[in-house]
Amino acid sequence: MKINPRESNPILDFAHGYEFPDYTTEKGLQKVVAFGDSSHKCPTYVLRTPPCQAGCPAGEDIRGFHNLLTGLEKSENSWNAAFDRIVDKNPFPAIMGRVCPHPCETACNRQFREEPVGINAVEQAIGDHGISQNLKLPAAGPDTGKRVAIVGGGPAGLSAAYQLRRYGHAVTIYDDKEKLGGTIRYGIMGYRVDREVLDAEIQRIVDLGMELKMEVKVGVDISLEQLEADYDAVFIGVGAQLGRPLPISGFGNGPQTTNAVEFLKAFEIHGESISIGKNVLVVGDGNVAMDVARLARRLGSKAGVISGVPRDEMSAYPEEFDDALIEGTQMHYLTGTLQVLEEDGKVRGIKCTKMEKKAKGEEGWNSPIPFFRYKAVEGQEFELECDMIVASIGQATDMTGLESTTNNTPWLKLENNFRVKGKENVFGGGDALKIDLITTAVGHGRLAAESIDCFLRDVPYTSQPYQDVIDVKKQDIAYFLPKNQIKRNHHHLENEKVEGNYSEILVTLSKEETVEESRRCMSCGLCFECNQCLTFCPQEAISRFKKNPLGEVMYTDYNKCVGCHICANVCPCGYIQMGMGEDL
């Protein structure tokens, strides 16, 4: 039997019979494009927070420095202006551009088109420009007569000191080390952050005018109570300066077993003169474990990493893991440690066991910490040879003399305004509050400085305002032509070339590449004058005024607008909201 296709396809039936309406010159509410609509709502222009900025713990205006580099936001010198925009919130762009794991990129809406914008690479290039041009930070404010003590010269303390000087308060930094920098200096090696870069960005802060009291440990050499009495306010940013020991028999019996914090700090202080084994095993699966192994390779030793979990559950970032592997580090997956093996008082190896995933219902099977989701396999013990073991299984605080700030815990206990609970003029932040990213510590320092300034001026502290973060679903991202991220090169060092090589691994983008990468920014939540709304408006209700400030270039004539919402639908940045008349 032959089937009539027209009878079996009602959609095709409709299409064949459809008649287009006659051409009309009608205006006003009757002039709506095909399949359009009219409503009582007209477009409003709403500035929203881009997700990259919301995802940046330091609070950088990421969209802003991209728009400056591309020329969308006008300035006399785009690169200098971009530098000024970053350091308003974060005084370490060159450092963060090298070491930050860039949660901003994880949040970037461009990833829904193809790849996130290379924000971290752009930040590094801007930071390097600032150093090469000897650019300065914003000047210190007028003297207020108030004095603040900063306990700890790491990222949190330096960030707080910088912002407090901008407010005009005098600052004294107390640090128990010989040099400032904290974990940036003593926990991150020179092949990741060149020491000239580190020193340049720290010195810019010191140049704002502050007193330094180095190799003074607050709580031991001078009491916290004394600082509370001598200064108008105190900020505690001592970090998490202790490495956790490996909880197995034989660990800690001698210098051949140590933790990652001490290992890296020893090299920063003593250089290649430090004594390490010829066969170093690192226990841990994070970035710090990779750093220890890579440093051991540079010091001429064999290096291996023992991970209790498989590769896909290791916490090390892909680039850190890959570099360690390329440089000759041997990886031991699904391996647990049981006992340090010794002979004649020296380490000869470590007793291990194979690990397997726990069955559903077993204690810890769904733990948020991957290691606890695994267990030792009975009868699967074995030995690994080594003459040095470094534990890289986490960090802890040393709050000796600062116990009054911890509420009987190992950590700072703070109120929402970064004030220490039970203290009137003591504030804090950074890893002593919670171990997190370096950029988080920078953000803590800035926010705590804001709170301290309010306290010193006796004005109410206002918490951070609500952020209306733009949702990618409100953007027409199909407007942007696909273009992959311009990635930085790595100086990958093969196994045989790594020993004694402390040159930086990461290569800064050229200025041309940096601007090109910034052009991939979609300016989420802020008009970038693409003319989409003007082009598609069927009522010709939208005009463009080029000389208006950024975000105010496009203008809607509400006498012509019929509320068809086409302008909002085609807006690539999600700046248009059909809101006027919403309550009618």
Q: List the CATH number of the domain containing 119.
A: 1.10.1060.10
Q: What is the pLDDT of residue 1?
A: 44
- Domain's final residue, options 425, 457, 489: 457
Asked, for residue 141, whether it belongs to a domain, the answer is: no
How many domains does the chain contain in total? 4
How many CA atoms lie within 13 Å of 452's alpha carbon, on the beta-carbon side? 38
Do 161 and 178 lie in one domain? The reply is yes
DSSP 110: G
Give the whole-number percent of the chain exceeding pLDDT 90. 83
Give the pLDDT band of residue 492 (cuts 50, 70, 90).
confident
Asked, for residue 485, whether it belongs to a domain, the answer is: no
- Looking up residue 560, the CATH number of its domain turns out to be 3.30.70.20
With CA atoms as reference, report the closest residue to 90 among 438, 555, 475.
Answer: 438
Residue 351 φ/ψ, nearest 5 degrees? -85, 130
DSSP 469: B
Q: Tell me: pLDDT of 34 over 60.
A: no
Do 362 and 429 lie in one domain? The reply is no
Q: Tell me: pLDDT of 29 over 50.
A: no
Do 387 and 401 lie in one domain? The reply is no
List, for residues 544-569, the tens digit of each pLDDT value: 998 889 999 999 998 888 888 899 99
Q: What is the pLDDT of residue 10?
A: 66
How many CA atoms lie within 13 Å of 321's alpha carbon, on the beta-carbon side? 17
Ranking 8-17, 96-105, 195-204, 348-357 by mean pLDDT, the lowest is: 8-17
Cα separation, 13 vs 26, whole angstroms: 31
List, for residues 41-85, the tens digit of each pLDDT value: 888 899 999 999 999 999 999 999 999 999 999 999 999 999 999
Q: Tell me: pLDDT of 393 over 80.
A: yes
List, for residues 330-383, the tens digit of each pLDDT value: 999 999 999 999 999 999 999 999 999 999 999 999 999 999 999 999 999 999
Asked, for residue 107, whether it belongs to a domain, the answer is: yes
Query: Residue 419: CB partners within 8 Å, gap ≥ 6?
Result: 426, 427, 451, 455
Query: Residue 506: CB partners within 8 Å, gap ≥ 6?
Result: 98, 124, 192, 488, 490, 491
Q: Tell me: pLDDT of 255 over 60.
A: yes
Give the pLDDT band of residue 543 (cuts 50, 70, 90).
very high
Asked, for residue 437, whether it belongs to a domain, the answer is: yes
**What average pLDDT does this structure show over 7-21?**
62
Asked, for residue 170, whether it belongs to a domain, the answer is: yes
- Domain's final residue, options 371, 392, 413: 392
Cα separation, 386 vs 365, whole angstroms: 31
Q: Tell me: pLDDT of 17 over 80.
A: no
- Looking up residue 162, the CATH number of its domain turns out to be 3.50.50.60
Cα separation, 476 vs 458, whole angstroms: 47
**What average pLDDT does this structure show over 459-478?**
89
Asked, for residue 481, whether it belongs to a domain, the answer is: no
Q: Determine the length of the chain.
A: 584
Do 350 and 409 lie in one domain? The reply is no
Do 252 and 229 lie in one domain? The reply is no
Do 190 and 227 lie in one domain? The reply is yes
125, 511 in Cβ contact below 8 A? yes
Mean pLDDT score of the chain: 92
With CA atoms as reference, report the closest residue to 514 among 154, 93, 216, 49.
Answer: 93
What CA dihedral angle connects 469, 474, 479 and 480, to 10 degrees? 30
Do 261 and 229 lie in one domain? The reply is no
Q: What is the pLDDT of residue 12?
A: 61
Do 162 and 124 lie in one domain? The reply is no
Residue 296 φ/ψ, nearest 5 degrees? -60, -40
Domain span at 24: 19-47+526-580
Element (H, E) at 211: strand 211-214
Q: Tell me: pLDDT of 207 over 80.
A: yes
Do 125 and 24 lie in one domain? The reply is no
Cα separation, 405 vs 45, whole angstroms: 46
Do 279 and 250 lie in one domain? The reply is yes
- Domain's final residue, options 408, 428, 457: 457
Q: What is the pLDDT of residue 584?
A: 42
Q: Tell me: pLDDT of 199 over 70.
A: yes
Asked, for residue 71, whether it belongs to a domain, the answer is: yes
Q: Tell me: pLDDT of 33 over 80.
A: no
List, for residues 211-230, the tens digit of each pLDDT value: 999 999 999 999 999 999 99
Do 308 and 220 lie in one domain? The reply is no
Asked, for residue 495, whether it belongs to a domain, the answer is: no
Give the pLDDT band of residue 126 (cuts 50, 70, 90).
very high
Do 266 and 372 lie in one domain? The reply is yes
Query: Residue 451: CB partners within 8 Å, gap ≥ 6?
Result: 417, 418, 419, 427, 461
